[in-house]
Amino acid sequence: MFGKFMSRVGQQPIKIPEAVSVKIDNGQVRVEGPKGVLKQEVRPEIKVVVKDNQVFVSRNSDAKLAKSLHGLTRTLVANMIEGVCQGWEKRLEMHGTGYRAHLEKETLVLMVGFSHPVEIKPVEGVNFQVEGNDKIIISGIDKALVGQVAAKIKKVRPPEPYKGKGIRYEGEQIRRKPGKAAKVGAEVPGAGGEG
């Protein structure tokens, strides 16, 4: 079932927008557009052809590996085309008292409750923006690279499950756990509210 779905995805041609050029050379796909250039090696099990302003991805056999690479390769090429046209972005939010972010030149500086600020150096092909002082936007043309950098920033202070403090993806829901104070409250001397 999964293999069939992947191959169905793989069989769909990808339309090349006007401002984009796609070239295949020695097993490498090169995509160039208004925002830049991306390159991707293609495994020998997969064949990529440009024809009539479309990209066609096919596999050389029905082997399990070829089937799994078929849909994946088509998705990667489609993501490259979208990346050089529109770009990709991930948005992060910071939750916590005193948590804030700012840019120093191109370096992202995070204040997240440690005794020192955390500096994230820019990676080639990825840009940082800060909205307000608690929203971080990571953007670039390479979807995988943007995702990796966002995950690295989130790891600096992952959301904790009691108060939800930390760095999370925009709109991400954190599953909260009941705090220890709620359980211990009855045992704390004077917690009965006397007086």
- Exposure b/e, 42-79, CB count within 10 A at least 16 = b: beebbbbeeeeeebbbebeeeeeebbbbbbbbbbbbbb
Is the pLDDT higher at 128 or at 174? Answer: 128
Taking the C-alpha atoms of residue 91 and residue 150, their distance in angstroms, rounded to an integer, is: 8
Write out the two tokens for 23. 């070239």
Percent share of the chain, pLDDT over 70: 87
Taking the C-alpha atoms of residue 117 and residue 94, their distance in angstroms, rounded to an integer, is: 14
Dump pLDDT digits (tens) for 43-99: 999 999 999 999 999 998 888 998 889 999 999 999 999 999 999 999 999 999 999
Percent share of the chain, pLDDT over 90: 71
**pLDDT of the residue at 180:** 58
**pLDDT of the residue at 179:** 62
Taking the C-alpha atoms of residue 140 and residue 68, their distance in angstroms, rounded to an integer, is: 27
Going through the chain in order, the beta strands assigned E by DSSP cover 14-15, 21-25, 28-33, 36-41, 46-51, 54-59, 88-95, 100-104, 107-111, 118-120, 126-131, 135-140, 166-169
Dump pLDDT digits (tens) for 103-123: 999 899 999 999 999 999 989
What does pTM read for this prediction?
A: 0.80
For the chain, the average pLDDT equals 87
Dump pLDDT digits (tens) for 126-152: 999 999 999 999 999 999 999 999 999
- The dotted CATH code for 88-169 is 3.90.930.12
- The amino acid sitting at 179 is G
Is the pLDDT higher at 138 or at 26? Answer: 138
- The dotted CATH code for 2-85 is 3.90.930.12
Q: For the chain, which residues make up each domain, given as ranges?
A: 2-85, 88-169
